[in-house]
């Protein structure tokens, strides 16, 4: 069985100056687990139950857009079902609320989805809410760098073993490692090489920069 030494702690701080966390990183890297850990701890604290560790908060409401709520009966796609949920959250949230959004505005054109997500996060900031959001979109990582109230965060990946580390890293966005993970499950190299040609040099440079910043931060 696991020993206490196997437990990797997660410490998060949000205040009036830093009210949003944008978490990025690879699939199966721990983004959603980290966000749900924060949400469950907050829900316990709000209910008068002491969570593991320490939880100090003045927040009083918790809103979540997590999971795929598509429905053929209701003519809802993955994207539209999340947008409806976000519409309702924006109607009710205020400075007493913590909002949790998993894979914000995924499931549509990445450029339009990224722009919509930025508009939604701007509105959450305007309404005074605190939020934790996960994403794979590079445009949002860059957007967060331009907003003083939002902090990029990531869960670094062990590039050699292609396994998550579950260490939470503040201030640095994360890479998705889509090509590495695809290679690891057996996608042919010829397909991956063609894909890299389509991505172009600029995206590769961005990923290399993120890796360098993560290493520097960890050191």
pLDDT of residue 118: 95
> Model-level pTM?
0.84
pLDDT of residue 156: 79
- Under the banding of pLDDT at 50, 70 and 90, the label for residue 133 is very high
Q: Is residue 90 scored above 90 in pLDDT?
A: yes
What average pLDDT score do residues 29-49 get? 89
- Under the banding of pLDDT at 50, 70 and 90, the label for residue 127 is very high
What average pLDDT score do residues 180-207 get? 81
The string of DSSP letters for the chain reads: ---GGG---------SS--EEEEE--TTSSHHHHHHHHHHHHHHHHTTPPPSS-------EEEEE-S---BTTTTB-HHHHHHHHHHHHHHH--TTEEEEESSTT-SS-HHHHHHHHHHHHHHHHHTT-EEEEE---HHHHHHHHT-TTEEEEE--EETTTTEE----EET------HHHHHHHTT--HHHHHHHHHHH-HHHHHHHHHHHHHHHHHH-
């Amino acid at each position: 069985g696991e020993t206490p030494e196997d437990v990797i702690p997660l410490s998060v701080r949000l205040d009036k100056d830093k009210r949003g966390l944008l978490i990025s990183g690879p699939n199966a890297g721990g983004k959603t687990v980290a966000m749900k850990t924060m949400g469950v701890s907050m829900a316990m604290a709000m209910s008068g139950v002491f969570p593991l560790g320490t939880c100090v908060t003045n927040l009083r409401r918790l809103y979540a857009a997590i999971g795929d709520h598509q429905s053929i009966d209701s003519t809802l796609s993955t994207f539209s079902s999340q947008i409806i949920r976000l519409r309702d959250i924006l109607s009710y949230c205020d400075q007493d609320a913590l909002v949790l959004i998993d894979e914000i505005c995924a499931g549509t054109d990445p450029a339009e989805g990224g722009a919509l997500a930025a508009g939604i996060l701007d509105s959450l900031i305007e309404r005074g809410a605190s939020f934790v959001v996960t994403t794979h979109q590079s445009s949002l990582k860059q957007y967060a760098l331009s907003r003083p109230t939002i902090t990029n965060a990531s869960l670094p990946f062990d590039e050699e073993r292609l396994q998550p580390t579950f260490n939470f890293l503040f201030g640095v966005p994360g890479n998705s490692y889509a090509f590495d993970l695809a290679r690891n499950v057996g996608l042919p190299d010829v397909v991956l090489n063609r894909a890299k040609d389509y991505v172009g040099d600029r995206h590769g440079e961005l990923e290399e920069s993120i890796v360098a910043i993560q290493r520097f931060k960890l050191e």
